[in-house]
Amino acid sequence: MAVQKYINIIHPKFGELVQETFVDEVQFRLFLQLVHSCIELGQDLTSFNARDFLIHIPHSLLKESIVIGNTKELSLGEYAVRKSKMEG
């Protein structure tokens, strides 16, 4: 059974700013650490994976937002489908 992890950043006025899903534990932890560091150090959240994901959230919006991280178990079939879509 694989585990899917996701991070939601929700602003009270503007709604959902980020909804990112991870299957890789390392990527999940790195992104969560990036969000935490930006909040603690008073920096804008900016990330680009050099392929298809670019995000920039000013610190003023980030500090007012709720950050939710959670996990969901996936069957092996669901994991294979998601992995093929990501590599596709």
Tens-digit pLDDT string for the chain (88 aa): 567 888 989 999 999 999 888 888 898 899 999 999 999 999 999 988 788 888 999 999 999 998 888 866 656 676 677 667 656 5
Cα gap 41→17, rounded to integer Å? 20
Task: Find residue 45's DSSP bridge partners.
Answer: 57
Cα gap 79→64, rounded to integer Å? 34
Which single residue is written with the structure tokens 């585990």? 3
